[in-house]
Amino acid sequence: MSATRIIFGCGYLGLRVGSLWRDAGDEIIAATRSEERAWELRTKHGFRTLVVDVVDLFHADLPRADTLLYAVGFDRNSGDSIHDVYAGGLQNVLAMIPSNIRSANYISTTGVYGTAGGGWVDETTPTDPQRDGGEASLAAEEVLKAHPLGRRSAILRLAGIYGPGRVPYLEKLRANEPIAAPSEGWLNLIHVDDAARIVVAVDRWLAERETSDGPHVFCVSDGSPVVRGDYYAEAARLIGAPLPRFTTPPADSPAAARAGADRRVNNSKLHAWMAAAGLSLEYPSYREGLARILQSETAI
């Protein structure tokens, strides 16, 4: 049976989720701030569109839908704060969304956790965000928990999303230029195509449940953390570049802040859930993911 899905945030991940739903026969309503982006989503992807700003929804007339996906990214040029976009935006959407909606999915981040000194974190680990993005995402999680729809929702804490067109520093690797990041420290990753499939599967699971006991929290990672130096060494190997070189980033830079987290994400809960649902990751580690991405790009 087809459904109507409303997506706030049809970006790198949201567009792929919407495409999977569309290909399954569902109607997609893509909400965006940009008329230009709305035109692209209509003409290239066959979505219905809604031009709205989540920070100012007071006069919006939101259409009826069965499912909500909130995957809004932060545009630093918007003039809004990240807290206004993540937590405030979600609160506005929930206040305006039609009452018939049956489930919601919020794309959060593993940035809600604190520094771990190389240790493991999972869904039971106390949250302690150290950066604005993690704080804003955690505030949005609390907004969803406090709303009645939260009982029929999932909070998906995504690790670093990578995929086609999203492998950083490739040009620096090709030019043998140093990367301004520590070679040490753990990276936690999920391929964008696996992440999209997980969102679709979790939403289907929510729809099939007879109980309203959410929100259900999942750490969405491939479960194979990799030391940063090893990740970029593999990327360099695949593109035929020399081994990467690294320099220490400024202490107050985003790269230094990310490296300071130094945590490993345990995906055991997600892995068990996927196994019970008969699902598996197409890219169980960065090796398979990078090979597919970079070999395809090299062929082009």
95-142 pLDDT tens trace: 998 888 999 999 999 999 999 899 999 999 999 999 999 999 999 999
Q: pLDDT grade, residue 274 (50/70/90)?
A: very high
**C-alpha–C-alpha distance, residues 153 and 205, integer Å:** 10
pLDDT at site 91: 95
CATH annotation of 4-165+189-221+265-282: 3.40.50.720
Task: Tell me the whole-structure pTM to 2 decimals.
Answer: 0.94
Give the Cα-Cα-Cα angle 258, 264, 268 (nearest 5 degrees). Answer: 140
Percent of the chain whose pLDDT exceeds 90: 83
Q: Which residue has the higher pLDDT, 195 or 64?
A: 195
Any idea which of 54-58, 66-70, 142-146, 192-196 has the lowest mean pLDDT? 54-58
- pLDDT averaged over every residue in the chain: 93
For residues 220 and 167, give the distance between their C-alpha atoms in angstroms, rounded to a whole number. Answer: 18
The C-alpha atoms of residue 98 and residue 95 are separated, in whole angstroms, by: 9
Check whether 300 has a pLDDT greater than 60. no
Helix (H) or strand (E) holding 40: helix 35-45
**Residue 299 reports pLDDT greater than 50:** no
Whether the predicted pLDDT of 74 surpasses 70: yes
User: What is the per-residue pLDDT across 162-197, written as a single tens digit (0 to 9) for each?
Assistant: 999 999 999 999 999 999 999 999 999 999 999 999
Mean pLDDT, rounded, for 17-27: 98
Q: Round to whole Å and give the CA distance between 169 and 19.
A: 28
3-state secondary structure of 89: helix
Has residue 298 got a pLDDT over 80? Answer: no
